Amino acid sequence: MEDEHICVDNLSAYNLRRPAPAAAAFYGIFDGHSGGEASKYVKETILDLILYDPNFPNDVETAITNAFAATENGLRSAGILKAGTTALMVLVWGRTLFIANAGDCRAVLSRSGKHINMTTDHKPTNKDERLRIESRGGVISSDGYINGVNCQFGVSRGLGDWEFKLESVALNLLSPISADPELNTYELTQEDEFLIIASDGVWDVLKSDFAQEVVRKQLRLCNDPLKCSEELVEVEENSIFSTPKILKEDDNYKSPLCSVVGKVEVEENYRYPNLGNQEITSKEAVVSIREDAQGGAWIVVQRKKKKCEAVFSMNLRSHTRNGENV
């Protein structure tokens, strides 16, 4: 498995220099590629590097920046050269929300029923990212990838991928793939309802406002973050399979990264006209198309039972009461 996550609802168990506030939590998702070594290493090291940095908790942003840099160097020292990972982490410290992102994961805040994108998707096609990449000698292909030796990258920031980055090091240049996180700090208010953090597996399919609406509706029904996560993943998967695109035999569909692990087994019906009768089996699903008497067709998607990651949604209101930390 290439993807990892962290969910620590209470940081008070850590032996910190200063007692943690009542609302102190940490969440992270690490969407790995080219093997799972990098995402596993980041999961196991980055939280400790933040909490035990000399600047924490007086200067949290510096502590986070130092932790990303130390993790990046640690991957190289550990000999993890081929694998890489994106990294999105959220630290709740009292009423302050610290969000750090390197890659194309995304954090979306729900505030008074409206969505707010708290991060930027670090894609090579983004204007600022393109300028930085090209200033470092990187070349972006017409289909939006950074070209390297025997490889292409669809993200412009991330940890690891040292096989590629060492090409720049050898020339005494900065790598087009940056490990520097984008940092955002936000003071929570009574209007803030919940936060969704998810990998690109969700955001390549669902828009932020729609995902926020799905979670908000589910929270009202059950007030259970895990069920909300599962619902959002199911909606995302249904959206993929409800399009006219048919899976090919060699399709390698990967469920989106989530911070709460669960089992998902989906069997849904979708209706599209004039698709005829056919059945296609991929590695992950069986797609059956059967024409009906009215000339339309039912698409029956039977997802093979598999372990998948759900999207973590944290109810921020559970951390405040009457405007005070609890």
What pLDDT was estimated at residue 149?
Answer: 52
What pLDDT was estimated at residue 229?
Answer: 86
Q: Go through the domains of the chain in sequence order and give each one's CATH number.
A: 3-265+305-325 (3.60.40.10)
* Residue of 51, 60, 42 whose CA lies nearest to 14: 51
Q: What predicted TM-score, i.e. pTM, was given to this entire model?
A: 0.75
What pLDDT was estimated at residue 151?
Answer: 62
Question: How high is the mean pLDDT in each 10-residue block of the chain (326 residues)?
Answer: 88 88 94 95 97 96 98 97 96 96 95 94 94 91 76 88 90 92 95 91 88 90 85 79 38 35 30 40 43 41 37 41 32
- CA–CA–CA angle 108, 259, 198 (5° rounding): 30
Task: Count Cβ atoms below 10 Å from residue 55 Cβ, excluding itself.
Answer: 15
* Residue of 53, 46, 62, 63 whose CA lies nearest to 4: 46
* Chain mean position to CA 56: 25
* Residue of 102, 117, 96 whose CA lies nearest to 185: 96
What pLDDT was estimated at residue 3?
Answer: 86
Q: Give, rounded to a whole angstrom, the gap between the first and last alpha carbons of the chain.
A: 37
| Sign of CA pseudo-dihedral 318, 24, 215, 111 | positive
What pLDDT was estimated at residue 314?
Answer: 43
